[in-house]
Structure 1
Amino acid sequence: HGGPGAEPVGAPLAVVDALARHGAPFALFLDDFELITEPAVLGLVREIIDHLPRRGQLVLGSRSLPDLGLGRLRAAGALLEIDTEALRFSLAETQRFLQRPAEPAGSLPGGWLDELHRKTEGWVAALWLASMALDAVIARRGSVAEFIAQFSGSNRAVADYLAEDVLARQSPDVRSVLLRTSLLRQLTVPLAQALCPRQDVPRILAQLEAANLFLTPVGHDGAERAWRYHALFADFLRAQLVREQPDELARLHLAASGWYEAQGRAVPAIDHAIEGGDMPHALHLLDQHALAFLDQGRMRLLARWCAALPAALLRTRPMLQVVSLWATTLTRGPWEAMAQLQASGCADSADPAVQAHVHALQPMLLAMMDRVEDAAAIGRAHLARLPTGQPFADAVLGNAMAHVLGVLGEPQQAQRLLDVARRGQSGAGFNRMYSESLEGLLDLQQGRLRQATARFRLAVGATPSGSYQPTHGNAWAGVLYAGALYEAHQLAEAAHLLNVYLPLARDVGLPDHMILSHTMRARLAVLDGDIDAALQALTELEYLGHHRQLPRVVASARLERARILTLQGQRGPAAQALDRADDPGVWPRVALRQMNAHDVDDLLIGRLRWQVLHGDAGHAAQQAAEAAALAGHAQRQRRSLKLQLLQALALQRAGDGAAAAQLVARQLLPLAAAE
């Protein structure tokens, strides 16, 4: 319900699971689906489709084809498409619709009926509106012929006509309530009463609901029944309010904002303050709640508000500027955030609190831009200034530097920083997700897959929204959890998570997460026999690398393409693909670092894989043994395990089956058994 401490109604992934387990027949209706553009929401709907039980149906109403993989559903016979021609009523259907016993309009003569059908083109919404308008005409003994002659057939025109006609026949009190509450997305009796203190709101709302005028019930808002205005009428009522009472709009928004503020519901309070144009009050509310929302990881919400505020006004509140910077970082990526930071002047602020946030942002942004060496240099200097009295900033700096030091091969220092970051956390929230994810990465490097999986699972559920919320920025943990499940061969669960988290990871632009998520999607597609989908995922990854000037991402897409060709037995094309992936500016640097995306997938491993299958297996066995020893010395047990497995395969391929069996029995099986 919008307050920083509000409890979630339920996590969307849990809803997917609940629907999948539902035993009784059901149909889930989603109308106006063309309005949904958020990739994470589309991913969630794909999950619902993929996990619909045998007696479940999903019905979508949309004015455009949604991006839900309709071709695949069509080919599987799982899609029923009802196009515009099928939706239009025939003349006979129009006649039956208008001749229902309860419809006074049902006695239309044939000529008038033909004309009405022609003007509406058989669209049921227009016919329904026309029938309501005709009822009003007949009730006041007006001319039906004149109405039909003037009727345009457009939904908007009919809705406006009907609303104006119905509104004109309401009492002043009812009319006032309709207009003054039209700016609300949902209305309850207490909220409507706050906006209409002189009217008997409970009686008027009951009267409107009984007459089926304007209002649509939407369940409950807390303990109160809630309604919304029918979409066809809401725009008209709001426009009428602006025409008749232009000075009231801002006051009504402010009244709604105040009511929500008194109820402890900061989100709608801030929304109404912004919509009402009262930016100083919106800033006042944000001053009170922004850091709490930041700690929860509600970055998209904060980004939306900050984008709505005038830049000049935001510059008067340096702390809100840094909140905006955090939101930009975790919704639109580090490049835009770095440009915003440089233009903001926050780095030169004399405010210690602002400086604390800037010092946390700088190494995090540099690491996200794949500049870990620069992040380490600037971050070490900022660590010396801790604590600063800003818990969120201090925890992020500790977490970010733990990540950087882990990549640089200093796991003990990374662990120490994680421990420090944990001590400054206030429970569930963004930093807990961050810490758990990073500790899981350390576990994964050590080959402790079960422990890493448990940490990633905790990290995904670390925000107050449970296991998933697009506004809570935990794509960081979601992609890692999907990767751990993939490693454990829980492929359906991994794909389930990828559908939701890959779009978020792509938007934020974390290099390792982009590489992991897209290569994982490609591998899952290959396992499903869909090579085209696999290549599409890698093409998108390569494009993202070019677009964001990330050579490592480009090289990783090419490396994965080489892997597919290698395993397909295409010796020559695979070798050529490996050569294309061999970027001298990328792989020597990767070899000196411990990057999560390349722990068990880099150019060396790609070439060893090719050698085992298509080249000199004996030489590959020797190379793999040497690389495995180096990985073990660096305490990278997972990488060492991968290389020893390649060594065993190479020995077998070279004809030394006994040595291969001995290596598996002495080195690999004990490690595998422990997991």
Structure 2
Amino acid sequence: MDTKAPPTPAVSTKFQAPTYDDDGLVSRDRLIDVLREGRAKRLALIHAPAGFGKTTLAVQWQRVLRIEGVPVAWLSLDRDDNDVVWFLSHLIEAVRRVEPTLAGDLVDVLEEHSDDAQRYVLTELVNQVAEHRRPLAIVLDDWHLIDAPTTAAALEFLLDVGPDNLRLIVTSRTRSPAVGRLRVRNQVTEIDATQLRFDHKESVAFLLDLNALDLDSEDVHRLWSSTDGWVAALQLATLSLRNSDDPSALIRGFSGRHHSIGDYLAENVLNALPADLLDFLLTTSVCDRLCGDLAAAVSGQRRGQALLEDLERRDMFLRPLDDNREWFRYHHLFAGYLQRRLERDHADRIVTLHRTASAWFADHDLLSEAVTHALAAGNDTGAVDLVERQAMHLVEHSRMATLLGLVNKLPKFLLPSRPTLQIAVAWANCLLQRAQPAQTAIDHVRAALASATDDTSKDILGEADVVQACIDVYGDRIDRAATLVAPYIVDNPGYRPWLVAVSSNIRTFVDIHTFDYRTAQTRQQWANAFHATTRGPYAGVYGRCFAGLAAFAQLDLVTAERLYQEAVALARRVAGQHSHAARLAGAPLGRLYYERGETDAAERLLEECHELGAESGVADFMIVTYTTLARIKALRGDIEDVWSLLDEGDEAASQLALPRLSAAVDYERLRLHLALGDTGSAQNVLAHQTEEIARGDDGIAMATRHYQLTMRARILTAQGDYAGALRPLSEIFHESSSVAWRYAETTARIELAIVLSLSGDSDAAVHTVVPALVSGARSGLVRTVIDAGPELLKIVGRLRDAGRCRRWPAGLPTVPSDYLSRLLATAHADAERAAIPIIDRPAERNPTPEEPLNAREIDILRLLDRGLSNTEIARNLGLTINTIKWYLKSIYTKLGVARRGESVSEARRRRILT
């Protein structure tokens, strides 16, 4: 099987500090001492204009930390890092290069995931660093190139909630990132231009010791005074003074204005160079980084590597970017001089130079830089061509975020007319569950090919139908999906295996929700050959999970478990232990483990899927994640986590327009309110279901309607209207039976038996529930029975006793006594844990006056506001889960609330949070 291809090559020099010889640097001991004094602080911010030695100081500090045993990750930023997904992927790669055990699969999660990936990846990175316990430092060089709010927010997250063993070192031409909060908490060390200027002693060392200039003390003092210790000006001065017959006269002529000095010295340095070397400097200045082959291609001079090494020997502001001196970069200040002179003297050559650079990068599979240079050359069409040629390759290798980042660099007006590119954009957005952008791309495809009749165009339009069906399935719609994918699931289809595999999965989803469960499983057996030849794990993972859903619906839990386990194993083998695909597959498997009573294993899998947030697969996966995990949290007594989960699920349902998910979440809310004795709030939950679903053949609509009917029946039962409750439950039972939906039929029997028992008709309750218990014993249902509540467990207890006394009800099949005993034993263990403790609701409290929160409680509130779970808060603050829960109870008491979301809202009202 062809596993996932390697990603688009990362620029390795982004993750390496510039290489300086120790003998060629002035040691900044006084500044190192400042950094050493502040080493316990979260941030070291080194900010000044160009040419003040910010990066050089960061390199020296990196070397000090490494000598002391601290791993230091290095990330040289560029404009592309304004795309937050690219920034995070580069940040993770930088960390992995110095600590390979950290952040193993997080880049794949970013590529295969969407907007919620940013929160998840940052949180997971912080947690892994915290658990690692060893110190870790990260250098972010040239932060001033970042102006995107999303990327800035990512850094602010690391600054706000990073663990105590994480240190950030940021160099920037501006004072950003904002450090107000960190300064208040004494968590930032700042070094600015005033501190970075060479003092007199450092200037002497630079001019006399390093550069061996023949200057007397008065000349040195005058030069230091006139440049005010500006490092770049001093370096330019050394180059100019080496070629001067009268250094003292040159020094006396300095005006003292930094930028005019810089311009003057640069002109003198450049004019003194041989013509071929000057031309080499000017032409190669169009590239942000250079190697010998690239420099030769752009300059037209064959000796590219030799010329780069010559420039380095001449101290021409050329920095090596790696230990092998293969890649180089001009100092930003000097590159600016070169580019301005190129524009002044050879403006007619600039387009050709960028075209040549673009072609070189494209030939070496460095797509982002190829696109950048094509755009700089004004070759917008060529830039689009570059991305279009690689677009589907990126999608099929699960590099969706990379593709969309490249597309965002392109001129928007050229994109709608490119159907081949748009179909890839549609796939990328669809697989990231961004329905509206995916739909927009499909609309562009259809508009561009509206009148086309050639075979290629027809194929693209056909593929657009498959994407449309995929969008529909993620949106929990099946009304047209089967028709759209029909051409791709015939015998001997002549299409790419990936298209056939995806189409088979879509059709299987339709099979499940039209109750054709046997066909769903048979179809996936046919599709396995196509899954095996697709790149990446997704087709095979979804196929196995969908076949498992069909088996589960028929109460064949053995087959369902096998298929779910195969899906998880495939995802982990192909994409990694913690990949997006593995987490998706873990949702239905976690649901099955919970059903079997294996709560710990279920919780681990569901927590991992929950981290994916609102993009954790189709609605079926999201439902089992939010509702099953909520039940597990209730068993643990973590009621605040239950409310938080259900609130999050409701938000996801609203965001993605998923009525079935909304109904499932509300059903869990209603159950909990009734368990807490709060009928009024339960009625409010039912009122939240404003769109009443009509009867129909669509299984998605039927499931949504069944949730609503069950909620109505539960409220009627709580009000003592048993006859009223029996009517909707009987309707659910007959509908489920008519379509052979065995699991739904079984749960309907259980609900009916509870109401019958409460109404006093014990015999009818027993006759109704025994067939459900027989099915449960055969298939291994545990939690479905126990979670139905104490009234059903009374019936189970009476049946167990009847079996022991040989008084089993006449005419009914026997339920194995060991199964009944297991149900009762598990329920007893729940009671021992105080499964659903009674918690006062806000309306029932008499809040104390506005008691102030302490500093730790405010820190916890800030992390709550960022959406962190109790476990994540504990990791970030270095506290235990129980300590966090203790603080939460104190926060709730002081604020007069009972839920996480309410505490944040109240804190905002009181201006504790702003």
| TM-score, structure 2 normalization | 0.54
Which of 79, 84, 101 matches 1:37? 84
Q: Paired residue for 2:393?
A: 292
Look up the match of 1:401: 507
In structure 2, give the amino acid aligned to 1:575.
A
The equivalent of 2:904 in structure 1 is none
Q: Corresponding residue for 2:404?
A: 303
| Alpha-carbon separation, structure 1, partners of 2:256 and 2:352 | 41
Aligned position for 1:55:
134
292 and 561 in structure 1: CA distance in 2 versus 1, 3 angstrom threshold: same
- Relative to structure 1, is the Cα distance of residues 620 and 358 closer, same or farther in structure 2, using a 3 angstrom cutoff? closer
Residues in 2 aligned to 1:56 and 1:254: alpha-carbon distance in whole angstroms: 45
Q: Please give the alpha-carbon distance, in whole angstroms, between the structure 1 residues aligned to 2:118 and 2:192.
A: 32
- Quick one: structure 1 residues 437 and 282, their matched pair in 2 at CA, closer, same or farther if it must change by over 3 Å? same
What is the SS of the residue equivalent to 2:505? helix
CA distance in 2, matches of 1:564, 1:170: 80
User: Which is further off, 411-420 or 515-524?
Assistant: 515-524
1:439 deviates by 0.7
- The one of 168, 189, 195 equivalent to 2:298 is 195
Structure 2 distance, partners of 1:427, 1:262, is 28
Q: Is this contact kept in 2: 1:256–1:269, CA < 8 A?
A: yes
Letter matched to residue 71 of structure 2: F
* 2:169 paired with 1:68: no
- 1:376 aligns to 2:455 (yes or no): no
SS at match of 2:480: helix
Q: Residues of 2 paired with 1:158 and 1:301: CA distance?
A: 43
Residue identity matched to 2:353: L
Q: Kindly state the Cα deviation for residue 202 of structure 1 after the two structures are TM-superposed.
A: 1.3
| Alpha-carbon distance between aligned partners in 2 of 1:212 and 1:475, rounded to the nearest angstrom | 48
Q: Offset of 1:667 from its aligned partner? A: 6.7
Partner of 2:600: 489
SS of residue paired to 2:84: coil
Deviation at 1:44, TM superposition (A): 2.9
- Conserved in 2, the CA contact under 8 Å of 1:257 and 1:270? yes
Whole-Å separation in 2 of the counterparts to 1:627 and 1:176: 89
TM-align CA RMSD: 5.7
Task: Label 1:290 to 1:663 Cα distance change in 2 as closer, same or farther (>3 A).
Answer: same
When residues 112 and 652 of structure 1 are mapped into structure 2, their CA distance, relative to the original with a 3 A threshold, is: same
- Partners of 1:389 and 1:100 in 2: how far apart? 70
Query: For residue 622 of structure 1, what is the amino acid of its counterpart?
Result: A
1:456-486 deviation per Cα after TM superposition (whole angstroms, max 9, x unaligned): 34236646xx668xxxxx8465434367468
TM-score by length of 1: 0.70
For 2:473, the equivalent position in structure 1 comes to: 367
1:665 correspondence with 2:818 = yes
How far residue 30 of structure 1 moved from its aligned partner, in angstroms, is: 4.8
User: Among 620, 626, 646, which residue is 2:787 paired with?
Assistant: 646
Deviation digits for residues 233-267 of structure 1 (CA, Å, limit 9, x no counterpart): 55665555445444433323332343345456666
Change (3 A) 1:402 1:99: same
Q: Counterparts of 2:271 and 2:770 in 1: how far apart (Å)?
A: 83
User: Is 1:104–2:207 an aligned residue pair?
Assistant: yes
- Could you say which residue in structure 1 is the equivalent of 2:888? none
Cα distance in 2 for partners of 1:234, 1:379 equals 54
Structure 1 pair 206–290 and aligned structure 2 pair: CA distance change class (3 A): same
Distance 1:230 1:371, change over 3 A: farther
The answer on whether the counterparts of 2:197 and 2:231 sit within 8 Å (CA) in structure 1 is no
Q: 1:400: Cα distance to partner?
A: 1.8
**Pick from 433, 436, 439: which aligns with 2:538?**
433
Q: Distance in 2 between matches of 1:202 and 1:315?
A: 42
Cα distance between partner residues in 2 of 1:483 and 1:240: 63
CA distance in 1, matches of 2:775, 2:566: 26
In structure 2, what residue type is equivalent to 1:340? Answer: A
- Number of the residue aligned with 2:88: none
Contact 2:541 2:567 in 1 (8 A): yes
Deviation at 1:87, TM superposition (A): 0.5
Matches within 5 A, 1:22-33: 25-30=70-75
Question: CA separation in 1, counterparts of 2:269 and 2:192?
Answer: 26
Q: Is the 8 A contact 1:460 1:481 kept in 2?
A: no
Deviations 1:548-573, CA, capped at 9 Å, x for gaps: 54444544555555567677x46356
Relative distance call for 1:656 and 1:538 in structure 2 (3 A) is closer
Match of 1:55, SS state, is coil
User: Residue 361 of structure 1: CA displacement?
Assistant: 2.0
2:151 is the counterpart of 1:151: no
Change in CA separation of 1:565 and 1:287 when aligned onto 2, cut-off 3 Å: same
Listed as ranges, the gaps of 5+ residues in structure 1 are: 16-23, 118-126, 469-473
1:470-619 correspondence to structure 2 within 5 Å: 475=580, 478-481=583-586, 484=589, 489=600, 499=611, 501-502=612-613, 505=615, 511=619, 541-556=649-664, 558-559=666-667, 569=676, 571-572=678-679, 575-576=682-683, 578-585=685-692, 592-593=699-700
Q: 1:93 to 1:382 in 2, by over 3 A?
A: closer
1: CA distance, partners of 2:630 / 2:331: 44
Which stretch has the larger CA shift, 447-456 or 401-410? 447-456
Structure 2 residue ranges without an equivalent (≥5): 16-68, 86-114, 145-151, 169-181, 210-216, 594-598, 723-748, 756-765, 805-814, 827-914
Q: Say whether the 8 Å CA contact 2:513–2:700 is kept in structure 1.
A: yes
The verdict on how the C-alpha distance between 1:134 and 1:227 changes in structure 2, with shifts beyond 3 A counting, is closer
Which residue among 520, 523, 530 is the counterpart of 1:424? 530
- Aligned partner of 2:445 among 330, 336, 344: 344
The change in CA–CA distance for 1:536 and 1:378 in structure 2 (over 3 A counts) is: same
Question: Matched residue of 1:585: which SS?
Answer: coil
Could you tell me how far 1:32 is from its partner in structure 2?
5.6
Deviation, structure 1 residue 31: 6.5
The answer to whether the 8 Å contact 1:443/1:449 transfers is yes
Equivalent in the alignment of 2:191: 88
Return the offset for 1:360.
1.4
Q: Select 2:356's aligned residue among 246, 252, 255.
A: 255
Deviation at 1:537, TM superposition (A): 6.3
Amino acid at match of 1:55: R
Aligned to 1:123: none
1:541-598: CA deviation from partner (whole Å, max 9, x where unpaired)? 544544554444544555555567677x463565245424545536978993499x99
CA deviation after TM superposition for structure 1 residue 397, in Å: 1.7
Task: Tell me which structure has the larger Cα radius of gyration.
Answer: 2
Instruction: Give the match's secondary structure for 1:86.
Output: strand
Query: What pairs with 1:120-269 in structure 2 (closer than 5 Å)?
Result: 128-129=231-232, 132=235, 141=247, 149-151=256-258, 170-210=273-313, 213-219=316-322, 225-230=326-331, 237-238=338-339, 240-263=341-364, 269=370
How far does residue 73 in structure 1 lie from its aligned partner after superposition? Answer: 4.7
Distance 1:405 1:185, change over 3 A: farther
The answer on whether the counterparts of 1:483 and 1:520 sit within 8 Å (CA) in structure 2 is: no
CA 1:58–1:46: 2 relative to 1, 3 Å: farther
Counterpart of 1:18 in structure 2 is none
CA contact (8 A) 2:545 2:564 kept: yes
Q: Is the 8 A contact 2:445 2:461 kept in 1?
A: no
Could you tell me which of 436, 460, 465 is aligned with 1:354? 460
SS at match of 1:424: helix
Change (3 A) 1:538 1:169: farther
Distance in 2 (CA, whole Å) between partners of 1:627 and 1:229 is 79
Instruction: Give the Cα–Cα distance (whole angstroms) in 2 for the partners of residues 166 and 518 of structure 1.
Output: 67
Range 523-532 or range 571-580, more displaced: 523-532
Residue-by-residue CA offset, 1:103-135 (whole Å, 9 max, x unaligned):
239987699879959xxxxxxxxx554654565
Instruction: Give the equivalent residue in structure 1 for 2:753.
Output: 622
CA–CA distance in structure 2, aligned partners of residues 93 and 211 of structure 1? 24
Contact 2:630/2:642 (<8 A) preserved:
yes
Letter in 1 for 2:126: I
The whole-number CA distance in structure 1 between the counterparts of 2:717 and 2:412 is: 59
Identity %: 20
Q: What amino acid is the match of 2:538?
A: M
Using a 3 Å threshold, how does the CA distance of structure 1 residues 344 and 236 change in structure 2: closer, same or farther? farther
Please give the alpha-carbon distance, in whole angstroms, between the structure 1 residues aligned to 2:70 and 2:305. 37
Residue by residue, what CA displacement relative to the aligned partner does 1:166-212 show, whole Å, maximum 9, x if unpaired?
Answer: 65555444443344334445432222222223252112222344566
Q: CA deviation at 1:408?
A: 3.2
